[in-house]
Amino acid sequence: MEGNQTQQELAGYLSALFYHHDRLALPGIGTFELSPQPALVDQVQGEMTPPTRHIVFNTGQMLDDGLLLAHISEHSDLGIEEARQWLARATEEIKTTLDAQEMVTLPGVGRLYRDYEKRIKFLTDHTNFRLDTFGLLPVQAEAIGRATPVATPPPPSPPPSPAATVSARPGLAASISDWFQRNLAWIALLSVLIIAFAVYFIFIRPRTIPTPDPTVDLPTERLNTPPTREDADATTSDDPEDLEDATEDAATDEGPDTEAPTLAPDEHTALIAVGLFSETNNAERLVEKLARAGFNPVTRAEGRYTRVGIAIRYTEDATLRSELRTIQRDWEDSAFIMEIDGVREE
Domain 220-344: give its CATH code.
3.30.70.1070
Are the C-beta atoms of residues 67 and 24 closer than 8 Å to each other? yes
pTM assigned to the model: 0.40
Distance CA 322, CA 303 (A): 30
Inform me whether the pLDDT recorded for 248 exceeds 60.
no
Least confident of 51-60, 62-71, 166-175, 336-345: 166-175
pLDDT of 25 higher than 50: yes
3-state helix, strand and coil shares in percent for the chain, rounded to the nearest 5: 40, 20, 40
Residue type, 61: Q
Order of strands across the sheet with 30-37?
A: 23-26, 30-37, 52-58
What distance, in Å, lies between the first and last C-alpha atoms of the chain? 110
Question: What distance lies between CA 300 and its chain's CA centroid?
Answer: 45
Q: How do residues 154-206 score in pLDDT, each as one tens digit?
A: 777 766 565 555 455 566 777 888 888 888 888 889 999 999 888 888 887 66
pLDDT for 173:
75
> Does the pLDDT of residue 88 top 50, yes or no?
yes
How many Å apart are CA 102 and CA 104, to the nearest integer? 7
pLDDT given at position 310: 92
User: Is 300 within 8 Å of 306 (Cβ atoms)?
Assistant: yes
Describe the crossing of helices 2-18 and 80-99 by its angle, rounded to 10 degrees.
110
Distance (Å, whole) CA 298 – CA 287: 8
Q: What is the mean pLDDT of the chain?
A: 79
CB-neighbour burial class of residue 286 (10 A; exposed 0-12, middle 13-18, buried 19+): buried
Q: Which residue has the higher pLDDT, 271 or 153?
A: 271
> Rounded to an integer, what distance in angstroms lies between the CA atom of residue 102 and that of residue 95?
10
pLDDT greater than 60 at residue 237:
no
- State pLDDT tens for residues 273-316: 999 898 888 889 999 899 888 888 989 888 889 999 999 888 88
Give the distance from CA 104 to its chain's centroid. Answer: 54
Chain-centre distance of CA 199, in angstroms?
A: 52
Give domain limits for the chain.
2-140, 220-344
Q: What is residue 40's three-state secondary structure?
A: strand
More confident residue, 152 or 160: 152
Radius of gyration of the chain (CA): 50
Query: Is the dihedral angle over the CA atoms 238, 336, 284, 256 positive or is it negative?
Result: negative
